[in-house]
Amino acid sequence: MSGDASHRPLDLRSDTVTRPDETMRAAMAAAEVGDDILDGDPTVRALEEKAAEILGTEATLWVPSGTMGNLIALTVHLRPGDRFLAPALAHVVEFELGGWASFAGGVPHALPWSAGPGRVSPASVRASVPPSQPYDALRDRLLCLENTHNAAGGTVTGPGEHRAVTATAKEAGLLVHLDGARIWNAAVSLDVQPAELTWGVDSVLACLSKGLCAPMGSVLGGSAEFVRAARRLRKMVGGAVRQGGVMAAAGLVALSRIELLRNDHSNARVLASGLRDLGWEAASPETNIVLARVTDAERRVSELHRMGILATTISGAVRFVTHADLSEKDIQEVIWRISSMSP
Ligand SMILES: *Cc1c(COP(=O)(O)O)cnc(C)c1O
């Protein structure tokens, strides 16, 4: 079983590389549209309603990117002089260029992964929020959760733990934002409805452009009042669009495919176990992200690149992400190509 003759690069850098297939493109081409800034776009409205139903929020707002959704949420929630808590290596803190610093006005505080990789315990939330504060202390306003946690390797927080942490945050007087860019992966991995993972949150962000293959777009959910405020901010940051229905049509197809993420998860397990058989140190993934501990991650990624395997590094590990544009056969091909490397 020699390798793929064409030696086409196999792209495991991210599930964002997924492209819309024919069905999605056909839905986009056929979308009924209107001017979403003037009097509304019917397909955007349909997507926002469907997403609200799935996420269990009163309303949602389509936004062009996850980063913009998080920025808008934090801007609704935070004031200058506020502090927000987030698990260490949260995407919103590390990979969004600190938009909150210049726009929302808050200051981040990293919480340790006290409940497991990427997960924070109620006790660590409680311990970070003193019951009373002098007037010149930062005001703790918000807890930002991340499910799945990207940098921890797509780790999942279950509904019971989510409730406990959220309830503790509320008791401490905090608002809660959930960066659920990959909440769909979490739900599929846990075999629960996404709405079970949004209990008690004041806002939730979920991406349509990752494993679900939409070319762009995320949804930001919360109360009707939150979404009204978010809509104004979306306009302010230039994220309101006109015939957004073309993109929303892709989003609706994306939402009908959440169950397919199971394949990505099973491919990730196949990859991790193949890597382990080859002597790599790769933990068994909870979702679609495989982290492999290596001594020199940058060098490893260059070597992989030369063999036609695209991956990235994250906190000193090599990160492989499985997605809809990679079949199980492609994953076998990845393992085959890697088998010629020394571990
Ligand atoms: C990808 C991602 C985002 C941002 O989404 P973009 O659409 O790339 O801006 C936010 N949070 C997490 C956890 C992500 O993985």
User: What pLDDT, in 10s, does the model give residues 283-337?
Assistant: 999 999 999 999 999 999 999 999 999 999 998 999 999 999 999 999 999 999 9
Ligand 1 pocket check for 181: Cβ under 6 Å: yes
CA of 298 to the centre of ligand 1 (A): 22
**Which domains, and CATH codes, for the chain?**
3-19+260-338 (3.90.1150.10), 31-255 (3.40.640.10)
Ligand 1 pocket check for 14: Cβ under 6 Å: no
CA of 206 to the centre of ligand 1 (A): 8
Q: Give the residue whose CA is nearest to atom 3 of ligand 1.
A: 66
Q: What is the position in ligand 1's atom list of the atom closest to the CA of 68?
A: 9
Ligand 1 pocket check for 146: Cβ under 6 Å: yes
CA of 194 to the centre of ligand 1 (A): 17
Ligand 1 pocket check for 319: Cβ under 6 Å: no
Ligand 1 pocket check for 89: Cβ under 6 Å: no
Ligand 1 pocket check for 124: Cβ under 6 Å: no
Q: Give the residue whose CA is nearest to atom 14 of ligand 1.
A: 181
Residues of the chain where predicted confidence (pLDDT) is lower than 50: 1-5
Residue 151 confidence (pLDDT): 96
Residue 132 confidence (pLDDT): 87
Ligand 1: residue of 100, 150, 156 to mutate (most ligand atoms within 8 A of CB) is 150
Residue 1 confidence (pLDDT): 44
Structure tokens that stand for 52 in this block: 């609200």
Residue 6 confidence (pLDDT): 56
Ligand 1 pocket check for 91: Cβ under 6 Å: yes
Residue 315 confidence (pLDDT): 86
CA of 342 to the centre of ligand 1 (A): 33
CA of 176 to the centre of ligand 1 (A): 18
